[in-house]
Amino acid sequence: MDILDKYQLKEWWVESLTVSQRNQVSNNYRPMGLPVSDTPCLYQNVDKTYFNDGFGKLSLLLTLSHVAESPAKEILKAKAESELTKSNTSANINLIDTHLALASLIQHHYSLRADNKHYEKAKELCLMQISFANKVAKKFRHPEKPTELKRLHKITGIRHPYYDEPQMLPSHTGYKQLAIILEKEGDIKSAIKLSEKALKQGWTDDYDKRLVRLNKKLAKIQ
């Protein structure tokens, strides 16, 4: 099974991108040192451990968009947003994949914030990512151990520091970016409230320092 079949993207890939676009993206995509490629012999035996820790369809599409040239770049990002909408209503949502995809899309739309449509979209996606932040935090703190390791550790009694101990949370783009937006819009109180919530959940973005600065700024205004 190749990676496009794995995520049911093969038909879309062929229909939506030209041969030259597919070749360009394939030649520049290097997971584990291999290209996506239209060649069926590649990825016949996908190493499933490579897809642990939440990597999924959305992350794949956005990774491909990063190496794609226009207009394929825009086509891939649009497909990712379309799939994001579908996954957000699914009972089997891949939380980490969705979290990572939203982080990328927030950065994309905010970089185009001169256009109000993109500015408002960035805020919308921030709120979407924040809406399940507490749930995804649990996934990051306690990553799912691969089946192979579970078997091995059961036999040997070995513990793995990454899987068997709580992990530090990474940065959270939605919280961070929306706090910046609210501050720039002059809504300091909401920026403080949002930063307090992120700090309480444990996201890593120097919220202690941000809150000190925001509270000083609010005191001056009042």
- Which residue is listed with tokens 């000083």? 216
Domain ranges in the chain are 1-94
Alpha-carbon distance values, 13 to 18, 22, 67, 175, 194 (Å): 9, 8, 15, 33, 39
Length of the chain: 222
Q: What pLDDT shows up at residue 200?
A: 95
| Per-residue pLDDT reduced to its tens digit, 200-210 | 999 998 899 99
Q: What would the pLDDT profile of 149-200 be if each residue is shown by its tens digit?
A: 777 777 887 877 777 788 899 999 999 999 999 999 999 999 999 999 999 9
Measured CA to CA, the distance from residue 74 to residue 86 in angstroms comes to 19
Other CB atoms within 10 Å distance of the CB of residue 63: 20
SS3 60: helix
Select the more confidently predicted residue: 40 or 98: 98
* Residue closest to 174 by CA, chosen among 88, 114, 106, 118: 106
- Its pTM stands at 0.81
Per-residue pLDDT, 42: 32
Mean pLDDT check: name the lowest of 20-29, 38-47, 89-98, 165-174. 38-47
